Structure 1
Amino acid sequence: MIGDRVRAAATVVAAGVLLASAAVAPASAHGQHHHPSRATCPPAASAVGYSDALDKLVVDGQEIGGLSNLAWDSRRGSYAASVDNHGSDPSRVWFIRDLSHPRPVGDPLILRKLDGTPYTGETADNEGMAVLPDGRFVVSSEVEPSIRIFSRSGLQQQELPVPARFAVAPKGEATENATLEGLTISRSGRILIASMEGTLSGDTGDGSFRRLLVYAKSRHGFRLTKQIGYRVDDGMRIPEIAEYAPGKLLIMEAAWSADVGNTITLYASDISHARDVSRVQDLATTRNLVVHKRLIDDVTKCPDLGATAKETQLNPLMDNFEAMAVKPAINDRSFGASGHRGAYDVTLLSDDNFNESQTTRVLDLVAQLP
């Protein structure tokens, strides 16, 4: 979340590129804007459109905001998105149908502790989410940090082990509000991967090293099997990850500063043969163990699609994007003779932090992924 802004402002990546505007189709009454012919986002993506339909939307007296993740819930036929934290409000999960024309469906789900009382924005910071094949919800919170599994009714059932060094200092080596932010599940439903937004103090150097936790399903639930090393670009953090093919991740890197606004990049990384760095105390001493990555999209350099921003942005299409969903782009012909092979629909969702100067925005992209 951009409480992260205090930290990110000190380590911003400046993008000194002026962005060209692109003509867009007229917006509907619900705020959908779709580019008629696709707008290129370098080096391997296209912008399809965006929607601000969810921004400051009030449903039965409850304002939608603070959305930090997207997870497909096949039983509801909709995406689930949790509110990261909002004061003493109960921790809610909203359900959203049709990301191209987003609208909430049904009542939000309240996430509750083992004793049945609700988690709130003061006791949980629910940044990552995945849905298990049996329909249960896996949610990562930045507070401890923790990874909890909830029933379909929202009642906590169990908590996965997180290594002690990942705890927030002084108990561990993590920085407050920079712990387990991203969460994804394999298509088989047997692998969970959680990503650290920030670095551990034990990983020295320039502060660019990050760790991912990999959990595998066993007879007795999910067990931690390995840690993976990753390196972000200068000044960036990891707000979200998504598995798009077996062993392959799309990783979002982000930064913010008052004079630049939001900087967003997407990288692909094959972790199928990644080395286990669980016993490596300092990733800066074993840089060869971090996984390789390939730039897919410098989202900040997408055409602005005619979007407007409420605060300073080099590209007014940008906002505090923290959530991401990826699926194969069936029958897509954006990338030539290969058709839809390797092409994926990528949807980004921004967290407005219930702030009037930010927007809950859905951005639709198509990307060529390796």
Structure 2
Amino acid sequence: MRLRIPLALATAAAALAGCVTVQTATAAPAAARHRAGPEARQQHACSSSVAIRGWSDSLDKTTFRGLPVAGLSALAPDGHGRYVALSDRSALFTLDVARGPVPHARTVGAAPLADANGAPLDSEGLVVRRDGSRLVTSETEPSIGRYAADGTFTGERLPVPAMLRVEPDGRAQRNQTFEGLTAWRGGHRLTASMEGPLRGDGTDGAGRPLVRFQNWRLPKERQPGGQALPVAQWAYPVDDGLAVAEIAAAGDGRLLVLERGYDVATKANTIRLYLADPRRAGDVRDVARLHTGQGGVRPVRKTLLADLGDCPDLGAPNPSPQPNPLLDNIEAMAVAGRAHGRLELLLASDDNESAQQVTRLYRLAVRLPHP
């Protein structure tokens, strides 16, 4: 969804113990960078679980072959050392991203997208499969379509449960549908997250709105004629006033969830990173109205990893008066690496092609709590 977004007011965060060497992020490659020792590493902590390693505005207000590299709503590794970035302006970009703490990037490829009728998509979620095909969500219907690497629609769409369709065909509210997408279990399970609740769904015991996460079992890439099958659906409690912007498989049966919001009065973005554990969640695909206490409604349990408003700003500028100038409308998230029980995340913000916002890449180091 094209939005400005969150206000973040948590307590000052502790150091991320044992975090890899941190390097100060810069807005341009020519800007000064330095390596930091233990004291500086502590200053880079957002919480006891998360540290900001660096940021880069190298993609901001750039174009590639006439296409604005803007409106970035999803990121995914392509399996060949690069990343695919999805623009909600119906385009795919291939990025070379520096491996160091500062995620300096350059665009090396682009492919426009269209639906079966040749119309542009409101594209929000992305998964790159092992065979190189791209699964892309469109928030309009919503839908999930399969595309070749060059952006050609293959004609394949995943079946979407009726209740998740936009009103009046279903109960989904416009611009509140498939915002996040991730694959796990070796690529054979797909999960899409609704951005907001369905009309008529309620809250959990803490008063948090319940949004639905839909799962599919995917056929093997080499299985001709295989069909994706909708399976379990989960209820996820999103913080009041926020929305689910993105999800990513953590690699152990849990999910990373990015929640965001925007306070118009204070012009502040709130970006929170949660770890969600769905392994004991109830299957709610046959539950018409979600309310805690109703039979079968056992929401996903979640743990706050960090409110990114508590990260040090690392000297980042911002064209709008953010309480933390590091933040902008962060929509995209990808797991960039796993080592020694820690994850490296790459995030990207959607500038909405506005002079008052910025396309920014972020690199985070995350230590997950034990299940």
TM-score range, shorter chain: 0.7 to 0.9
Gaps of 5+ in 2: 14-21
Which amino acid letter does the alignment assign opposite residue 81 of structure 1?
Answer: A
Q: Deviations for 1:309-355, whole angstroms, at most 9, x for unmatched residues?
A: 1112110100000000114443xxxxxxxxx2x21111110000111
Do the aligned partners of 1:32 and 1:50 also contact (CA within 8 Å) in 2? no
Secondary structure, aligned partner of 1:364: strand
Is the contact between residue 114 and residue 155 of structure 1 (CA under 8 Å) also seen in structure 2? no
Aligned to 1:168: 166
For the pair 1:216 / 2:217, whether they are aligned, the reply is yes
Q: Normalising by structure 1, what TM-score?
A: 0.85
Question: How many percent of aligned residue pairs carry the same amino acid?
Answer: 37
Instruction: Measure, in 2, the Cα distance between the counterparts of 1:97 and 1:149.
Output: 23
Instruction: Tell me how far apart the structure 2 counterparts of residues 369 and 193 of structure 1 sit (CA, whole Å).
Output: 20
> What are the ranges of 5 or more consecutive residues in structure 1 without an aligned counterpart?
86-90, 331-339
What is the deviation of 1:253?
A: 0.7
Q: Which residue of 1 aligns with 2:283?
A: 276
Question: Which residue identity does 1:291 align to in structure 2?
Answer: V
Instruction: Please report how far the alpha carbon of residue 63 of structure 1 lies from its aligned counterpart in structure 2 after TM superposition.
Output: 2.1
Residue from 151, 154, 176 that aligns with 2:151: 154
Rate the CA distance shift 1:221–1:147 in 2: closer, same or farther, 3 A. Answer: same
Q: Do the aligned residues in 2 keep the contact of 1:322 with 1:350 (CA within 8 Å)?
A: yes
CA contact (8 A) 1:228 1:290 kept: yes
Q: Name the SS of the counterpart of 1:133 in structure 2.
A: coil
Task: Indicate which of 51, 54, 62 corresponds to 1:49.
Answer: 54
Contact 1:344 1:367 in 2 (8 A): yes
Q: State the alpha-carbon separation in 1 of the partners of residues 279 and 32 from structure 2.
A: 38
Alignment partner of 1:58 out of 52, 58, 63: 63
Please tell me the residue identity of whatever aligns with 1:245. Answer: G
Counterpart in the other structure of 1:324: 333
Verify the 8 A CA contact 2:64 2:110 in the aligned structure 1: no
- Provide the residue aligned with 2:104 in structure 1: 102
Offset of 1:358 from its aligned partner?
0.3
Matched-pair contact (CA < 8 Å) for 1:210–1:232: yes
Which residue of structure 1 lines up, in the alignment, with residue 75 of structure 2? Answer: 70
Note closer, same or farther for the CA distance 1:32–1:252 as it changes in structure 2 (3 Å cut).
farther
* AA of the residue aligned to 2:271: I
The 2-side partners of 1:111 and 1:192 are apart by: 21
CA offset digits 1:9-58 (Å, max 9, x no partner):
xxx75638799xx9947765356867734311113111111000000012
Partner of residue 225, structure 1 = 231
| Matches of 2:174 and 2:346, distance apart in 1 | 28
The answer for the alignment partner of 1:334 in structure 2 is: none
Q: Is the 8 A contact 2:208 2:239 kept in 1?
A: no
Aligned partners of 1:15 and 1:233: how far apart in 2?
A: 14
